[in-house]
Amino acid sequence: MNEFFNSSLGLKLNAEAVVLEVIRFMKSEPGWHYKIIIGTDSERRDNNSADFVTAVVVHRVGNGGRYFWRRISSGDIYTLRNRIMNEALLSLEVAKEVLTILKSFDAPNFDFEIHVDIGENGETKTMITEIVGMIRAHNFEVRTKPESYAASKVADRHV
């Protein structure tokens, strides 16, 4: 993963710098429960390409959080199914890299989730079993709409 993530301060950070910021945020208030969440959303363009935004969220449960995001573009996205599958695969890629980096540092305890922008209502309902199964097969907790705020709210904000 060579793309840089954006911070709320306008900084461009690589994945290791994002993880260090996440750890710093968690260590600043160690008495709270934390979740680290990865979510991706996308928007199709007129020329059969799509923009994908992946968010890395650190949620101080009950007391806010921080997030970092990156945008990449991809061509030859012809169907909703293809776009949703790419969203899930990008989230898995980022999740694996973030967890690998987290393991190399002294991180406080946290829960880890992947949020996908699919739900029981709308066109994506037929993909729930397949996408959720794929993510669980990689041993990740997964959330769908309406609980998938990292994808459907945070990443969506930057698409």
The full 3-state SS of 11-36, as one line of letters, equals: CEECHHHHHHHHHHHHHHCCCCCEEE
Q: How confident is the model at residue 47 (pLDDT cuts 50, 70, 90)?
A: confident
Q: Which of 100, 95, 128 has its CA nearest to residue 112? A: 95
Average pLDDT over every residue of 66-78: 93
Q: How confident is the model at residue 75 (pLDDT cuts 50, 70, 90)?
A: confident
CA gap 79, 54 in Å, rounded: 19
pLDDT tens-place string over residues 96-139: 999 999 999 989 999 999 999 999 999 999 999 999 999 999 99
Q: Which residue has the higher pLDDT, 58 or 77?
A: 58
Q: Which residue has the higher pLDDT, 46 or 149?
A: 149
Q: Under DSSP, is residue 107 helix (H, G, I), strand (E, B) or coil?
A: coil
Average pLDDT over every residue of 42-68: 95
For 33-84, give the DSSP string. -EEEEEEEEEEE-TTS-EEEEEEEEEEETTS-EEEEEEEEEES---SHHHHH
CA gap 22, 36 in Å, rounded: 8
Fold of 5-158: Nucleotidyltransferase; domain 5 (3.30.420)
pTM: predicted TM-score of the whole model, two decimal places: 0.95
Contact 15, 3 (CB under 8 A): no
pLDDT at 1 over 80: no
CA gap 140, 4 in Å, rounded: 23
Q: How confident is the model at residue 2 (pLDDT cuts 50, 70, 90)?
A: low
Tell me whether residue 24 is exposed, middle or buried, using C-beta atoms within 10 angstroms of its C-beta: 0 to 12, 13 to 18, 19 or more: exposed
What percentage of the chain has pLDDT greater than the value 70? 99
